[in-house]
Structure 1
C-alpha cells in the first residue's frame, strides 16, 4: 500500500513537472533565461528556492506527502493517473510459470516393483525353479515357500528393463505377475 502511494506521488510530481515545463516553454522571455542542462556526468546545481522545496518535501511523512499530492492535483487540475500495479507483473509471471508446469511432461516412473499375484497349480514346480534361478541366494525350499506365499513382492525398486524381463520370465510359468 505504501508502495502504491509512493508510486502515485511520484507520478503526480512527474505530471507537475511536465505541466510546469510546458508553461515555462510557452513563455519566450523565460525560455531565453533558462540555462542549458549539464551533461549526464556533471552534477547539477539547483536554485536555492528549489533546494528549499526539496528539503521541505524530504522531511514530510507519508500522510503529508499524500495530502501534498492531492493539493497539487487540485491546484493544477491534474487528473488521477492510472497506476500500474506492481503485483500485476508478478501475477503474469506466475501464470506463465503455471503454464510451463502444465506443458512439462508428466513425472516418469523410474523405480518398479514386480509382484507375483497368482499361479496355476499345474505350473507350480516350473515356477519354483524359475524363482530359484531369478532370485540370487535362494534354494529350492526357500523358493517353494516364496511361491506358496503368493501374492508377494518378487523384487522391489528395480529399473524398467529389469522389471520387464522379470515379469516376462514369470508370466511364462504363471498367470499373473505384474510390475508396480
Structure 2
C-alpha cells in the first residue's frame, strides 16, 4: 500500500512540474531574446522595397525550396556551374622560355594496339590459324568470323618490340596490319 502511495505521489509531482516547465522555459527564452536583441544591430534596410520583399520571401523558404529556386534561376539566367579552385600553395616561378622550348619534345609512344585492316584472299586460312593462336579461348569458327569482319583489333596494349614482331609475321602471311 505504501508503495502505491509513493508511486502516486511521484507521478503527481511530475505532472505539476510539467505544467510549470513551459512557463520557466518561456521566461528563460524571453530573457535570452531580450539580451540578444539588445546586443544585435538591426539589419540594413534595402533602398528598394521590392528587394526587401524578395529578401523576406527567400528567407521564409525551406531548404528544398531554396535549392529549387537556385536551380531555376541558373537555368533561366543561363548560369553555368564552375568548379571553384581549391586553395593551393603559391605558384612556382616560371622557367625561362629557352628551356621550355627544348623540353617540349613529343613523347614517343611505347604501347600499341595491333589492328588487322585487310588480308589477301589466298592467305585467309593461314591468317585464321594465326589469329586463333594469338587470341586465347577462340575457336576456329570464331577466328574465321573475326578475320572476315576486318578491320578488327587483334591485340591491345602491346610493347613496341612485340607489336613489330607480330606485325612482321602477319604481313609475311599476306595481311595488312596497322599499329595504333
Question: Aligning the two structures, in what range does the TM-score lie when normalised by the shorter sequence?
Answer: 0.3 to 0.5
Taking structure 1 as the reference length, what is the TM-score of the superposition?
Answer: 0.45
Taking structure 2 as the reference length, what is the TM-score of the superposition?
Answer: 0.45
